[in-house]
Structure 1
Amino acid sequence: MTKKYDFLIVGAGFFGSICARELTNQGYSCLVIEKREHIGGNCYTEKRDDIHLHVYGAHIFHTSNERVWKWINQYATFNHYTNRPIANYKGELFALPFNMWTFNQLWNVNTPEEAQKIIAEQGKDIVGEPQNLEEQAIKLVGKDIYEKLIKGYTAKQWIKDPKELPKEIIKRLPVRFTFDTNYFNDRFQGIPEGGYTQIFEKLLDGIEVRLNVDYLADKDAYNALANKVIYTGPIDSYFDYQHGELEYKTTRFDHVKKEYPNHQGVAVMNFTDAEVPYTRIIEHKHFEFNETEKTWISYEYPEPYEAGKTEPYYPVNDAVNNELFSKYQALAAAESQVYFGGRLGEYKYYDMHQIIERALTMVETFTP
């Protein structure tokens, strides 16, 4: 029996939209279905008062992969925004990522050697390989920075004691013995002028897209429409949680309009003490250097994840969850016509540029 589509793509975020575009360009017919009422996944932006609001939190594009950078620049013009967040600890402000400005603000040191000596002294009790995030952080930057700028923030963000979190999480944060406050080390960085949603509109141009569709509510019927399926949702939900629920981090965003032009003078400010309930405030106008009479800010509140009830944002890749994921991986490998991709489908923390590379690599495996 001939099916109507070559590919059914579940999810209109980056992974699904890229696959749809590239496969369509190869001559395949695609149907994209999306549970939400909009395309773009978590990268969705919305225009409010001439400001492009990042509805699901800050998305700052960065990569050192020239192929990926050239590919994304087909769909938007990127500005020169450089991420230089500020840490706010009980009203004290510190430069991020951890660099010589941070060390000077904390310890009044001026040279890398002075800073390194303090960090070595404060981390001397960590003998051997660090076993968790707390030990890794103290070894990297010392107890002072850990207590002020990492401990409370991390506990809020993950709703876990840092001692219970894998050390790999903190390794994502740069530590520099220079006065460089650029958060990312990548060669290319910026924000699309006009927001992210335009990128998805171009990617999905001419492709059939159905919004407000719950694929898992009628999986067999949707699968019957196409020869192959690319699924970008949570892998455990696809298999009806038969091995148990994987753990994710989720966040609630509270978007607030302010009737004045500038709230905090920076796009990203992290609130690192445990007493402040939100992890950070995003002021969106600073992503595109807008001159506006009003401003929009977003408070980010971490919340406990409930499968099927709250949005899964980041996988919690500790040993227990990774072992559980391996069981779902085995089930996925047995699916002959279904391909799993993206943060949720592969249960892996991918940045945007990594998602693009993964999607481009996947579609190359299909030949007309």
Structure 2
Amino acid sequence: MREDEYIVKQYDYLIVGAGLFGAVFAHEAFKRGKKCLVLDRRNHIGGNIYCEKIEGTNVHKYGAHIFHTSDKKIWDYVNQFVEFNRYTNSPIANYKGEIYNLPFNMNTFNKLWGVVTPKEAKSKIEEQKAAAGIREPKNLEEQAISLVGTDIYKKLVKEYTEKQWGRKAVDLPAFIIRRLPVRFTYDNNYFDDKYQGIPVGGYNVIIEKMLEGTELMLNKDYFSDKENFDKMAEKVVFTGMIDEFFGHRFGRLEYRSLRFEDEILDKDNYQGNAVVNYTDAETPFTRIIEHKHFEFGTQPKTVITREYPAEWKPGDEPYYPVNDEKNMHLYEKYRELAEREKNVIFGGRLAEYKYYDMHNVISKALLLWGSDPIK
């Protein structure tokens, strides 16, 4: 590629990825008078929180994203860009036509066993845990049963988890499920966080405002001309896959991917809830998202998305890192290489090979500036 194909301009930061991490970093840099260029290989900003307007509804194109945090500073930070509605995440589980509330709470236990009081529910769970006799869980199945007993595990954990990971529960490490949320109240709010909601108008509003004053190139693959891109800035902020950055020198890290199947329905309400998990093995998808319910929509039509988990392969979008012992050992090798890169900042779920909620992504990006997020 000829150098004159780009405007000759010096940037303080070249930011690879127009997702949440890159956008927060760019916004903070702009506030400090820094010049940034943001690249993204996709044709849109926002990374996986990108929304597409379909039939008047903001459709979460890469899966449901509900913002939640207990950190008031982070909450105030995002609210400077957009107003958030009062959406409360209350998913339900469909097991062969039986409906259960998530997370596991008194509504769930009443449906399962007919119990009414917390004491009855605790007794039932402890009875099943004792009967299982698991002292040292050796795999995910044993870990889950030791936490919630056999009934909850069989109907609401086992088959859903096996679909999600593409592996039998007995073949998955125990540490994947360190805990399972069990509440002895009639509270269907999935998150314990003090603040939660959906940005009014969708997540694109936030990213657009964060990137104001920053130059942007979409449909640009950093690796197609890495050498020349690197010359354009003092430092690179890389939010892509860390193993790809190093040419897969030690091998490829593993991910789980997702395939989304959107459908427009000529009805105003399909399932009565934004998120319904299908926890049986026979249903090939893990959940159906009905997007209008995120923003209390009254549109005459509705848009639903079926979510199918898949093993990641090159060319697919990586979603969930497979943080087992083998992959973490491999990631450690790449992390050591990253530490030697003095002019590259690695950040975000792909660059750090770690699943982050949105508030964690924002916090990590802000920490790089050592700043109070509300200043």
In 1, Cα distance between equivalents of 2:273 and 2:123: 31
For the residue of structure 2 that corresponds to 1:344, the secondary structure is coil
The residue aligned with 2:129 is 123
Map 1:1-368 → 2, pairs under 5 A: 4-124=10-130, 125-171=132-178, 173-307=180-314, 309-364=315-370
What amino acid does structure 2 have at the position aligned with 1:213?
Answer: K
User: Which deviates further from its counterpart, 32-41 or 105-114?
Assistant: 105-114
Q: What's the secondary structure of 2:328's corresponding residue?
A: helix
One-letter code aligned to 1:13: G
Letter of the structure 1 residue corresponding to residue 248 of structure 2: Y
What amino acid is aligned across from residue 204 of structure 1 in structure 2? L
Q: Which runs of 5+ in 1 are unaligned?
A: none
3-state SS in 1 of match to 2:68: strand
| Count of equivalent residues | 363
Instruction: Give the letter for the 1:312 counterpart.
Output: P
Give the conservation status (yes or no) of the 8 Å contact 1:174–1:184: no
Alignment CA distance shift 1:126-1:241 (3 Å): farther
What amino acid is the match of 1:82? T
SS at match of 1:227: strand
Which aligned runs of 4 or more in structure 1 are off by greater than 4 angstroms? none
The residue identity in structure 2 corresponding to 1:319 is E
The answer (yes or no) to whether the contact 1:166–1:317 under 8 Å persists in 2 is no
SS in 1 for 2:188: coil
Counterparts of 1:354 and 1:80 in 2: how far apart (Å)?
20
Query: d(CA) in 1 for partners of 2:224 and 2:86?
Result: 43
Pairwise CA distance, 1:126: 4.5
Shift of 1:178: 1.1
Could you tell which deviates more after superposition, 56-65 or 103-112? 103-112
| Alpha-carbon separation, structure 1, partners of 2:361 and 2:65 | 13
CA distance in 2, matches of 1:41, 1:129: 40
Q: Percent identity?
A: 56
Q: Counterpart of 2:368 in structure 1: which amino acid? A: M
How far apart, in 1, do the equivalents of 2:9 and 2:343 lie? Answer: 13
Equivalent-residue separation in structure 2 for 1:84 and 1:165 (angstroms): 27
Amino acid aligned to 1:201: E
Q: Secondary structure at the match of 1:144?
A: helix
1:172 Cα deviation after fit: 6.0
Corresponding letter in the other structure for 1:206:
G
Structure 1 residue 132: Cα displacement: 2.7
**What TM-score do you get using the length of structure 2 for normalisation?**
0.94
Per-residue Cα deviation, 1:48-89 (whole angstroms, up to 9, x for no partner) = 122110010100000001111000001110000001111000
The answer (yes or no) to whether the contact 2:147–2:179 under 8 Å persists in 1 is no
Counterpart amino acid of residue 236 in structure 1: D
After TM superposition, give the deviation of residue 131 of structure 1 in Å. 3.0
For 1:120-158, what per-residue CA distance to the aligned partner results, in whole angstroms no more than 9, with x for missing partners? 222223433433321221112111111111111111111
Query: Alignment partner of 1:233: what SS?
Result: coil
Could you tell me how far apart the structure 2 residues matched to 1:347 and 1:271 are?
Answer: 27
Work out the CA distance in 2 between the residues paired with 1:358 and 1:163.
34
Stretches of structure 2 that go unaligned for 5 or more consecutive residues are: 1-7
RMSD: 1.4
